Amino acid sequence: MRYVSTRGKAPTLAFDDVLLAGLATDGGLYLPETWPTFTKDQWRSLQGLTYQELAVEVMLPFVTPALSKEELTTLVNEAYKTFEHDAIAPLRQLGPNHFVLELYYGPTLAFKDYALQLVGHLFSHVLQKKNRRVTIVGATSGDTGSAAIEACRDREGIDIFILHPNGRVSDVQRRQMTTVPSKNVHNIAIEGDFDACQDLVKNLFADADFREEFSLGAVNSINWARIMAQVVYYAWAALNLGAPDRAVGFAVPTGNFGNIFAGWVARQMGLPIERLVIGTNQNDILARFEQSGVMEMTGVEASISPSMDIQVSSNFERLLFELLGRDGQKVDQWMTEFRQSGKNTLDAPLWNQMRELFASARFDDDQTRALIAEHLGRSGQLFCPHSVIGVESARVDEAFGRLPFVSLATAHPAKFPDAVQAASGKYPALPDRLSDLMEREERFVVLPNDAATLKKEIANTLK
Ligand SMILES: *Cc1c(COP(=O)(O)O)cnc(C)c1O
């Protein structure tokens, strides 16, 4: 498989180079040149596989010929060893035709582990083959950071720098990043919000000399390999519910649009995914866009579901590329206009095309708290603030009840204990393996929102 940039100007690359590159040199995101599809019979033959076996089958077309099936199998088996549930991603029934896919059995208790544990192994493997080192730089609004750190810690050939917005991630989230004692792990708190962190990372990557000198790489949600690994659990859930012979819908708590875009990819590969519901908190740029066709930035507000506190959903560009007929020039124009004026509109026919598949729902903090309490009272189940938005977003869809719906539970409630306790009166306990987290020693530096200072810090650390 070769990969093309959504801006149409960067050279096409093979999987291993896309993995290491992250962002394309023209500022675009990479996507496969064509979408591999499986026939109904091929999908049927994958029913009943283990999660790991399915992962190999689903991802193989995307990594060939850079990786052999044997190599991929080894990496997949290694990656999911750190997961605590034998099913890896258990599907639990919540109500009639409504299921929750629990994606919080990885080392950092959130769905990002499902991709990043594999990506860490992919990086090590590919770097070893190429005899290279890489400096991973990433921005996090909470979960990506710890998941990336767990994926890269102590791995040969990798240094990792993770930026988080100072004071704007939960104690548990911060500690999951800053208490990792590994020498190759470096945490930086930026005086600014998540978008400031993300812009700093973009700034580093845009500096060709710096990028070259330190071999920058990214594992944030723009990295194609992460989307690819996430496709697996959509296929897993769909097959478990009777696909390809039964259509399904998914509802996904969404920030950067990376998770839900993986659902779109699973549909491209031939699975009957009929509905994709975007769930947001009050930072609802995607819900407003889905409901109006107008994408407009309005600033970020801190919420109790901080991993969805974003102003701009970077992975949306991938869907835009598809909607615009894979015309990189049009994507570039659209995105440039959006960045300049903070606003852009999708032409009505394309917007309607999007709405045939997508729906959206928005829940502010008060609604989210009420829903957490309601679920605890009704079924004894505690959801994290992101997950409960996923659960409830399914219900707004016109196909809810008719189609089996899968809501993605993206984090364990203990990852957001204060918000969950404030909402429900119940303090969610951390699983055993993290029970001493609040006593472990922290390590991080605080820097101003300034690219030059950041570059100096990275250069000094690596010296
Ligand atoms: C990252 C994250 C999200 C949002 O995922 P995207 O891929 O950015 O849409 C939702 N919930 C949790 C718990 C997360 O960590």
Report pLDDT digits (tens) over 255-305. 999 999 999 999 999 999 999 999 999 999 999 999 999 999 999 898 999
Residue 283 in domain: yes
Helix/strand/coil percent split, the chain, to 5: 50, 15, 35
CA of 439 to the centre of ligand 1 (A): 27
Ligand 1 atom having least distance to the Cα of 258: 7
Cβ of 110 less than 6 Å from ligand 1? yes
Range with the lowest mean pLDDT among 129-133, 141-145, 336-340?
A: 141-145
Ligand 1 atom having least distance to the Cα of 257: 9
Mean pLDDT of the residues in the chain: 95
Residue 239 in domain: yes
Cβ of 223 less than 6 Å from ligand 1? no
Residue 132 in domain: no
Residue 322 in domain: yes
Q: How many Å apart are CA 415 and CA 262, to the nearest integer?
A: 23
Tokens 């992919």 correspond to: 122
Domain extent, residue 375, equals 91-109+224-424
Q: Which of 100, 112, 313 to mutate to test the pocket of ligand 1 (most atoms within 8 A of CB)?
A: 112
Residue 101 in domain: yes
DSSP helix/strand/coil, 275: strand
Residue 193 in domain: no
325 — alpha (psi -120 to 50), left (phi > 0) or beta?
left
What pLDDT, on the 0 to 100 scale, is given for residue 269?
A: 98
* Domain total of the chain: 1
Q: Please say whether the beta carbons of 313 and 261 come within 8 A.
A: no
Range with the lowest mean pLDDT among 322-326, 369-373, 389-393, 426-430?
A: 426-430
Q: Which of 119, 143, 250 to mutate to test the pocket of ligand 1 (most atoms within 8 A of CB)?
A: 143
Q: How many Å apart are CA 176 and CA 148, to the nearest integer?
A: 11
- Could you tell me the CATH number of the domain that includes residue 321? 3.40.50.1100
CA of 218 to the centre of ligand 1 (A): 17
Residue 412 in domain: yes
- Residue % of the chain over a pLDDT of 90: 89
What pLDDT, on the 0 to 100 scale, is given for residue 399?
A: 98
The pTM score is 0.93
Q: How many Å apart are CA 34 and CA 24, to the nearest integer?
A: 17
Residue 186, CB-side half-sphere exposure with 13 Å CA sphere: 20
Residues forming the active site: 112
Cβ of 255 less than 6 Å from ligand 1? yes
Nearest to 176 by CA among 141, 143, 138: 143
- Residue % of the chain over a pLDDT of 70: 100
Report how many helices (DSSP H) and strands (DSSP E) the chain contains, helices first: 19, 16
Total residue count of the chain as it appears in this document: 463
Range with the lowest mean pLDDT among 175-189, 225-239, 297-311, 374-388?
A: 297-311
Residue 358 in domain: yes
Q: Three-state SS string across 339-397, please?
A: HHHCEEECCHHHHHHHHCCEEEEECCHHHHHHHHHHHHHHHCCCCCHHHHHHHHHHHCC
What pLDDT, on the 0 to 100 scale, is given for residue 144?
A: 78
What pLDDT, on the 0 to 100 scale, is given for residue 141?
A: 76
CA of 41 to the centre of ligand 1 (A): 33
